[in-house]
Amino acid sequence: MRPTSAIPLIPGAEPFSHSGSSTGVLLCHGFTGSPHSMRPWAEHLAEAGLTVELPRLPGHGTTWQDMAATGTDDWYAAVEAALLDLAERCDEVFVMGLSMGGALTLRLLQDHPDLVSGVVLVNPSLAMEDRRLAFIEPFRSVAARLLPSTPGISSDVSLERVSEGGYDRIPTASAATLPKLWRTVQEGMSGLRGPILAYRSTQDHVVGPNSLRILARRAVDARLTIHLLHDSYHVATLDHDAATIFEGSLAFVREHSRSEEGADR
């Protein structure tokens, strides 16, 4: 992965960090998106007194060409480093993810069950929606040269004049790494433990219902709760149901927190 620091950021794509109580929250944004889609959520949790980290995933928030040099291993390494840092500073950490960020969130729970106290998912992408990726994955380099990018689906929000601040093109090379992440997460679902709160929009033009069906079927030992969102599209964190997600996730943290300080705020 090449460095991306010299490339200007899309306005609003900056990471967010807040030092608060001994209860930490790590937020993971989605594929081709940026912290812009999660910032109101992060600010809500910060205002409640929690310690919050919302990193920008490598290659995101700049240009799709920049993103083409990155993949799921880079994105997971970034959120894993953020989790380990939070765990050093906090007594407990909750992880929350939108779309592909939901897959990263579950992988963190799989790899670090001792560090993650609970997770919140919003329209998580956990399974293949575009079957073409199965054919592209083994020939990632060739496919990327022949077809560097494809049209993207950004700002799937029912509210008018609301932008996610994501890319309108999907880099083929990066997309071809997604099946590996989905396989890893699905293969480890049976070992998931702890509380999981998931939100699913009934009108989602990016991720279908199969992802949460797979999670419900395989994560038999997790305490999974699913809430339906009837007034939002895929990027529900910027849509009509945003307040429901923000307040519900804060209540989730308070319910499952071991820290009296984090629970009482």
Give me the active site residues, please: 99, 204, 234
CA 136 – CA 133 distance, rounded (Å)? 5
Amino acid at 108: L
- Rounded to whole angstroms, the Cα distance separating 164 from 117 reads 29
Q: Burial level of 5, CB count in 10 A (0-12/13-18/19+)?
A: exposed
Residues facing 150 on adjacent strands: 170
Q: Which two tokens stand for residue 221?
A: 């030992």
51-54 and 23-28 strand pairing:
parallel
Q: Which H or E run includes 104? A: helix 100-111
Determine the angle formed by the axes of helices 242-256 and 39-47, rounding to 10 degrees.
Answer: 40
* 3-state percent breakdown (helix, strand, coil) of the chain, nearest 5: 40, 20, 40
In the chain, the largest separation of any two C-alpha atoms, in whole Å, equals 56
CA distance 126 to 128: 7
Q: Where are the alpha helices (DSSP H) in 90-224?
A: 100-111, 132-136, 140-146, 172-175, 178-187, 210-218
